[in-house]
Structure 1
């Protein structure tokens, strides 16, 4: 059994998506402590001179809490600046106009959410739907056998292979049994000159739209 241990995130990069597509079982570690270095609350997008992060702010007093207990900071309007950043950098992408109304409505719905995790799982589900991806996962908080020790967890669940999040050593406890995915980052035409890897799936969605399968099908191993 191939087990994937990932933190919840609303727009995975292609490595993490590849892990999800190749795993037999996906566990989202919602009981682990939130980290500002993680991608629970942020995603990387393409910009003219490279890449940048878009962020969902969290309440200061929640920064040491478990991911599932972290609340969104709605004290200032963060949604409009985030949408402006996406628009500025992707408005010339082939499928930006096709998805823009729904993406905008999805982000604006954040004001109806208190907890970060509820909102990002909603966003992830929506993005996967746009890309025609079906994904099933389990939450660590719902597992009686869950432990923060990834080696012990893999043993308890009978996993022969254990995948973890991409470049996560600074915020995710690394397993001795961790397997490195045989992964070659797909290169594709981006809307700015050159190619920047490790962008979130937003980059693929706006560039390929309904034909995103041309990229995602290469991730299934």
Structure 2
């Protein structure tokens, strides 16, 4: 396996911890896992935002294969339902009054008007835009084979199965500094939401939050 410094899974508008690690590993080799089998109920096809009614999960529906071992790059987006319209409307409802929604929405909302056949392709292009909007210098590429870095490259930071909706406090070495949230008076500060929450609320200052997410010894 190509020696990566950081390994991540593909993800839909990933959580802040995901981008904090991208911030930390700028200029180093970052691998996005392209050879794994699809994992249900993960950030690969869902993200968490903060709506007026609380935390809301947005899930991209995928076609269910007869095989339980579908490679992530082969997972097809399902056209069942109106998920594109529902996700775009959910973002407008949740963040339309946020300070930087209009600044970023013109580039992000058109993604929900395009039809992508594969989840990987949608996530990849969405991620590229998010990285550019955050002005991160990330050198990433897709993995060409699946391997256990603990055996082949023990120094790799492997977070492919660590950053997960059910493991929101499991990434070692990360702080969770609070920042302004539109509905904080109702719900208090909510951690580990999609990067969209941070971007719409904090705009260019999002980089400061990512920086401050790292412990002093590693930041």
When residues 43 and 5 of structure 1 are mapped into structure 2, their CA distance, relative to the original with a 3 A threshold, is: same
**Which residue number in structure 1 is paired with residue 96 of structure 2?**
91
Q: TM-score, normalised by structure 2?
A: 0.82
Q: Tell me: CA distance 1:163–1:147, structure 2 relative to 1, closer, same or farther (3 Å).
A: closer
2:196 counterpart residue number: 202
Q: What is the Cα deviation at residue 170 of structure 1? A: 7.8
Q: Secondary structure at the match of 1:58?
A: coil
Structure 2 unmatched ranges of 5 or more:
none
Unaligned runs of 5+ in 1: 172-178
| Structure 1 position 117, deviation (Å) | 0.4
Q: Which residue matches 2:182?
A: 191
> Which stretches of structure 1, 4 residues or longer, exceed 6 Å deviation after superposition?
none
Output the CA distance in 2 between the equivalents of 1:184 and 1:2. Answer: 24
- In structure 2, the residue matched to 1:214 is 208
Alignment of 1:135 with 2:134, yes or no, is no
- Aligned twin of 2:12: 10
Where 1:81 maps in the other structure, the secondary structure is helix
Distance 1:170 1:198 in 2: 11
CA separation of 1:39 and 1:180: change in aligned 2, threshold 3 A: closer
Alignment pair present for 1:25 and 2:19:
no
Once residues 166 and 73 of structure 2 are traced to their aligned partners in structure 1, the CA distance between those partners, rounded to angstroms, is 19
Question: Please, which moves more after superposition, 9-18 or 200-209?
Answer: 9-18
Q: Deviations over 1:91-121 (max 9, x none)?
A: 1111112222222112212x1x211101111
Count of residue pairs brought into register by the alignment:
204
Q: Per-residue deviation at 1:214?
A: 2.5
CA distance in 2, matches of 1:218, 1:2: 24
Q: 2:12–2:44: 8 Å Cα contact kept in structure 1? A: yes
Distance 1:50 1:152 in 2: 42
Deviation of 1:163 after TM superposition, in Å, equals 3.7
- Residues 26-55 of structure 1 deviation map (CA, whole Å, 9 limit, x = unaligned): 111111111122211111111234312111
Q: How far off its partner does 1:123 sit?
A: 0.4
- Show the 5 A alignment for 1:106-185: 106-109=111-114, 111=115, 113-141=116-144, 146-155=145-154, 159=155, 161-165=156-160, 166-168=162-164, 181-185=172-176
User: Structure 1: how far apart are the matches of 2:17 and 2:204?
Assistant: 20
Q: Distance in 1 between matches of 2:141 and 2:189?
A: 34
1:22 Cα deviation after fit: 2.2
Q: Cα distance 1:99–1:18, how it changes in 2: closer, same or farther (>3 A)?
A: closer
Q: Is the 8 A contact 2:35 2:71 kept in 1?
A: yes
Q: Give the CA RMSD over aligned residues.
A: 2.5
SS, match of residue 45 in structure 1: strand
> Equivalent residue for 1:176?
none
